[in-house]
Structure 1
Amino acid sequence: MASEPDFAHNDMASRSRREKAVGLAKFAWDRDISSAELLEMPDDRLRKLARAAGANPPSTRETWTIAAGLLDEKAVWAAAHPDRPEARREHPDEKIMWVKKPIEPWL
């Protein structure tokens, strides 16, 4: 009995996953969303974020994990090159739409 091919992890799928992750990471970067914040988002918010970024929502968390890694790489690069235009975030004011600060309890 032959084993089924793994279409989800062939070269073409990996390239497609990375391409989608790059677009998602760019969208998150421009909104000042960190890798940790991205990975903490619930699935329904991630789906909305993907649609807002112009992508079909990934079917697994694997693409989001790649996007988070890209955000970490970009943060290191941006810290080393703060004067480069690519280090700037275009829409940091939109972060609140995606990442909500926890409500502090009344004392």
Structure 2
Amino acid sequence: MDQEPADFAHTEAAARRRRDKALNLARFVWDRAITGDELLAMTDDRLRKLAREAGANPPSTRETWTVVAELLDEKTRWADAHPDDPRSVPAHADEKITWVKPPLPPWPGR
């Protein structure tokens, strides 16, 4: 009787570890004022550097980054609803430019 190989990446324990890693990454990313859309637009290389800077092993799939983006969107909604709470302001927003480059302005006359 053939048995299918175990899918350890989608067990309850794996999902819990992925969520824990995503929470830690989301805290770091939120403090740099990076949005979920900006995060998901980053290259894999950039995401690996970001994870290392956050003190985490880089996730092996985009699945974890998708969870991070969802957490960032959730935090943004919370921050918008609680503008007077000090936790609604990213602590290191000035570091955003390190990770997300602003778009270049068009040349004059174009």
Q: Same fold (TM over 0.5)?
A: yes
Tell me the matched-pair count: 107
Distance 1:82 1:15 in 2: 30
Secondary structure of 1:17 counterpart: helix
Distance 1:8 1:86 in 2: 33
TM-score, normalised relative to structure 1 = 0.96
Distance 1:106 1:86 in 2: 39
Aligned-residue identity in percent:
63
Aligned equivalent of 1:86 = 87
Deviation at 1:102, TM superposition (A): 2.2
Larger Rg computed on CA atoms? 2
State the AA in 2 paired with 1:28. Answer: V
Distance 2:78 2:93 in 1: 18
Q: Deviations over 1:73-94 (max 9, x none)?
A: 0000111111112212100000
Distance 2:77 2:107 in 1: 37
* Unaligned ranges ≥5, structure 2: none
Q: Deviations over 1:35-88 (max 9, x none)?
A: 000000000100000001010000000000000000000000111111112212
Distance 1:89 1:60 in 2: 26
Secondary structure of 2:59 counterpart: coil
TM-score, normalised relative to structure 2 = 0.94
Aligned equivalent of 1:100 = 101
Distance 1:86 1:2 in 2: 50
* Unaligned ranges ≥5, structure 1: none
